Amino acid sequence: EVQLLESGGDFVQPGGSLRLACAASGFTISNNAVSWVRQAPGKGLEWVSTITGRGTGIYYADSVRGRFTISKDTSKNTLFLQMDSLRADDSAIYYCARNMGHVTYYFDYWGQGALVTVSS
Amino acid sequence: EIVVTQSPATLSVSPGERATLSCRASQSVSSNLAWYQQKPGQAPRLLIFGASARATGIPARFSGSGSGTEFTLTISSLQSDDFAVYYCQQFNNWPLTFGGGTKVEIK
C-alpha cells in the first residue's frame, strides 16, 4: 500500500526557515517523481516543486524558486523541502504527492499534509 | 504559464441528479488533464487522469471528457459522499497548474 507521511510543519516568523520531510512507503522514490503541493487556508491547490526519480530533474514554481530546495534521501525513501526566507504568503498545508506521467505529471497518491504558519 | 479556469465556482445539486463541472485551459493541453476530489480536512484524491481515464477504485458514475482547452467532469447520479470540492490540473507544461475549484453542494 502506497503511503506518504509528512512531518516538520510548524509556526515560524517571517524570514525564518523550516524543513519538511515526507516518508514514503509502498513504493521507491528512486523509481518515481515526487512533488510538494500546497494549499493556503481556504484556498485552492498550488504546485510547489518536483524532483524526478533519478533526481536529475528538479522543478520549482516561480513563487518559491531561489527560496525553497527540494531533495531526497533514497536510502531512507524520504523527500524533503527546505524552505528559507519564509513569507506570510507561504502559510499553507504542504502535501507531498507521488507523481505519475512521463515528462510532466499528475498526482496519484497524497499525504495528509503538514501545516506551515508564517507569522510574527 | 497555462491558466486553468473552472466553472461554476459553486454547483448546487440534489442527490441523485447529474452534475457537470467545466475546466478550461488558456492554451491546448492535449489530453493531459487530471481531476481531483477534496473533502474538508482531507487530502485531494485522484479521480481522472488523461482527461477521461478513471483512477483505481473510482466509481463509474464519475466520467471525464474533452481535449485541447475544454474539459468536463460529469457525476452521473450524485451520492451523499460526492459533495466536495473538485479541482482540475493540467500536466502538459511546466509549471503544473490547477484550476480554482468547483464546490459541489447539496441543493
CA–CA separation, A49 and A21 (whole Å)? 13
Q: What is the pLDDT of residues B39-98, one digit of tens each?
A: 999 999 999 999 999 999 999 999 999 999 999 999 999 999 999 999 999 999 999 999
CA–CA separation, A59 and A49 (whole Å)? 5
Of A33, A6, A32, A10, nearest to A21 (Cα)? A6
Please report residues of B whose CB lies closer than 8 A to that of A59.
Answer: 94-95
CA–CA separation, B89 and B23 (whole Å)? 9
Please report residues of A whose CB lies closer than 8 A to that of B38.
Answer: 45
Is the bond preceding B8 in cis, omega lying within 30 degrees of 0? yes
Please report residues of A whose CB lies closer than 8 A to that of B42.
Answer: 112
Q: What is the pLDDT of residues A106-119, one digit of tens each?
A: 999 999 999 999 99
Of A61, A105, A110, the CB nearest to B44: A110
In angstroms, the first-to-last Cα distance of chain A is 40
- Asked if the C-beta of A68 comes within 8 angstroms of chain B's C-beta atoms, the answer is no
Angle, vertex CA A9, rays to CA A6 and CA A10, nearest 5: 165
Average pLDDT, chain A: 96
Verify whether the Cβ–Cβ distance A105 to B96 is below 8 Å. yes
pLDDT of residue A104: 83
Q: Cell numbers 509556526 correspond to what residue? A: A11
Verify whether the Cβ–Cβ distance A47 to B95 is below 8 Å. yes
Which one-letter DSSP state was computed for residue A88? G
Is the bond preceding B95 in cis, omega lying within 30 degrees of 0? yes
pLDDT of residue A103: 78
Q: What is the pLDDT of residues A44-73, one digit of tens each?
A: 999 999 999 998 999 999 999 999 999 999
Verify whether the Cβ–Cβ distance A100 to B36 is below 8 Å. no
Residue B23, min C-alpha distance to chain A (Å): 14
Please report residues of B whose CB lies closer than 8 A to that of A114.
Answer: none
Of A60, A63, A109, A104, nearest to B33 (Cα)? A104
Verify whether the Cβ–Cβ distance A110 to B96 is below 8 Å. no
pLDDT of residue A39: 98
- Asked if the C-beta of B2 comes within 8 angstroms of chain A's C-beta atoms, the answer is no
Contact present, A27 and A2 (Cβ < 8 Å) = yes
CA–CA separation, B15 and B105 (whole Å)? 10
Contact present, B74 and B20 (Cβ < 8 Å) = yes
Is residue B10 predicted with pLDDT exceeding 90? yes
- Asked if the C-beta of A75 comes within 8 angstroms of chain B's C-beta atoms, the answer is no
- Asked if the C-beta of A50 comes within 8 angstroms of chain B's C-beta atoms, the answer is yes
Distance, CA of A114 to chain centre = 9
CA–CA separation, A103 and B79 (whole Å)? 36
- Asked if the C-beta of B58 comes within 8 angstroms of chain A's C-beta atoms, the answer is no
Contact present, A96 and A4 (Cβ < 8 Å) = yes
- Asked if the C-beta of B9 comes within 8 angstroms of chain A's C-beta atoms, the answer is no
CA–CA separation, A113 and A39 (whole Å)? 9
